[in-house]
A and B are shown apart, each in its own frame.
Chain A
């Protein structure tokens, strides 16, 4: 079973702080990783993707990937109350017929308090 594990939270951080969200994956064959934000009652929205070891920055968001440790993280700097949502980590995996799909974690709930 190809699993993606996330702490369900809630992770509570004060406004302006750095929120750190973590994810581990079991399939060593995974080569691409995605972070989605999902507000309550809404569909997931892509925030960032990362393919190579190291850091990738986009505005207030930084994705970090360590393939040796099978670990992905998302840092949100200067957290805002509008960042309060569930964050889904997904790892790209090859399907049995050579197709491609994403394995999703259950998500981490983030609460940014004013």
Chain B
């Protein structure tokens, strides 16, 4: 079945540690996105990528990094510079650039600080 797979489901980060969240899709979508959701809050855009080997900062990119070496994969690294990383992280994808295409989400990764 086509879909978006995020792993792990739960992740714990120690002080000063970088952690990487995986996102893989087999929907053949060009565009991929990372969002952060805090309790009672909407989704805030961290990074997005419209095509392979290209990505752009969203509204809250500080303390995060991404890569897009393959169409199917868009991993997110939460660096030690992100002082408040505890949140629910959601990866999404859509057909490239089309303003009428919805985004589809993975199941999310919950990140907490140890």
Contact = CB atoms under 8 A, between A and B. Distances in A.
Interface of A: 4, 8, 31-32, 34, 42-46, 49, 51, 88, 90, 92, 94-102, 104-107
Interface residues of B, number: 25
Contact of A32 (B56, B99, B105, B108): B99
A95 B105 CA distance: 19
Given A43-B90, A106-B40, A106-B42, A100 B98 contact: yes
A12 B105 CA distance: 27
Given A42-B107, A100-B97, A105 B42 contact: yes
B48 A99 contact: yes
Interface in B76-114: 90, 94, 97-100, 102-108
A31 B99 CA distance: 7
B50 interface: yes
B75 interface: no
Given A43-B108, A101-B33, A32 B100 contact: yes
A105 B90 CA distance: 15
A43 B40 contact: no
Interface string B36-66: 0000111101001010000010100000000
B31 interface: yes
Interface of B: 31, 33, 35, 40-43, 45, 48, 50, 56, 58, 90, 94, 97-100, 102-108
Contacts of B48: 95, 99, 101
Contacts of B45: 101
A111 B50 CA distance: 37
Nearest to A109: B40
Nearest to A6: B42
A88 B56 contact: no
Contacts of A99: 31, 48, 50, 56, 97
B22 to A, nearest CB: 15
